[in-house]
Amino acid sequence: MATSLEIVSEHACFGGVQRFYKHESSAIGLPMRFSVFLPAHAVAGERVPALIYLAGLTCNEETFMTKAGAQRRAAELGLALIAPDTGPRGAGIASESDAWDFGLAASFYLDASREPWSKHYRMETYLTREFMSVIGQHLPVDTNRLGLFGHSMGGHGALTLALRHSGVFKSLSALAPICAPTQCPWGQKAFSGYLGLEMNMWRRHDATELMKSQGNAPYPDGILIDQGLADKFLDEQLLPHLFEAACQSVGQPLTLRRHAGYDHGYYFISTFINDHLDHHAQILKRA
């Protein structure tokens, strides 16, 4: 049965339209929200390539669209932008809001296997199955030309989902991603809470470990990562050098750009967002 969408709000934007949607999710068991920017050609009915953006801790489906300043360049390139929420809301778990880095708005884009999280915290299934069907049914986007990118926790989600679901996403990038969550406090807290203490389960959701296990380069057109060197989370939480080494070990082309003076926030993201859109557009228009 087709999922119905409700438009929460709609705004003209750079010749296209910015929309915010909600729908009932069977994978999550709760309503889910997401945002979409459609360029003019898509509004006219043409199916266009699309980029899915996964946001970071404490964010929601509005954060990227209101802070990143991506719509102008997306309109010029003819790309749709899609940003799902960072996790389920309304699960009613007593400890859900106790910490900013676990629970509400901190799903880590995986399917939890531990109670009480496993009932609703099923973001991997939602994003790679149900959400793909929803956008394919209801939006003028070409689901054979999808790119994936994200920031921080969302960068972790982009890297891991792209590596775990071969062929779904044709292009990949990240901004200040959590690259080795099995080796950082954020990841260890999330994985122990959602998955338990079995290290083999953790490794299945660690971009560095997943890249090491690749038989060849999964993204031969290259992966782009931008990282600010004034990012207070760089040394303890993000660890991009480990992902860089993993890419080198399997011959995966990686452009890891390190930027002096830039921190972890959306001023950093907005500075380099056009480069990411250009990276994806170049690949998706050849796909």
Residue tagged active-site, from 35, 107, 152, 171? 152
> Contact, 210 vs 164, CB < 8 A?
yes
- Active site annotation includes 120: no
Residue tagged active-site, from 231, 276, 279, 280? 231
- Active site annotation includes 264: yes
Residue tagged active-site, from 264, 276, 279, 280? 264
Cα–Cα distance measured from residue 282 to residue 287, given in angstroms and rounded to the nearest whole number: 9
* Helix or strand (DSSP H, E) at 114: none
Residue with tokens 């954060």, as numbered in its chain: 63
CA dihedral 200, 201, 207, 213 (to 10 degrees): 40
Cα–Cα distance measured from residue 31 to residue 137, given in angstroms and rounded to the nearest whole number: 18
Strand order in the sheet with 31-38: 6-13, 16-24, 31-38, 80-84, 48-54, 141-150, 171-175, 223-228, 254-259
- Active site annotation includes 235: no
> Contact, 207 vs 242, CB < 8 A?
no
Backbone torsions φ then ψ of 18, nearest 5 degrees: -105, 125
Q: How distant is the alpha carbon of residue 151 from its chain centre?
A: 7
Cα–Cα distance measured from residue 110 to residue 112, given in angstroms and rounded to the nearest whole number: 6
Residue ranges of E strands in the chain: 6-13, 16-24, 31-38, 48-54, 80-84, 141-150, 171-175, 223-228, 254-259
> Contact, 199 vs 262, CB < 8 A?
no
Q: 16 Cβ partners below 8 Å, 6+ apart?
A: 37, 38, 39, 40, 42, 43, 71, 75
Q: Which residues are catalytic?
A: 152, 231, 264
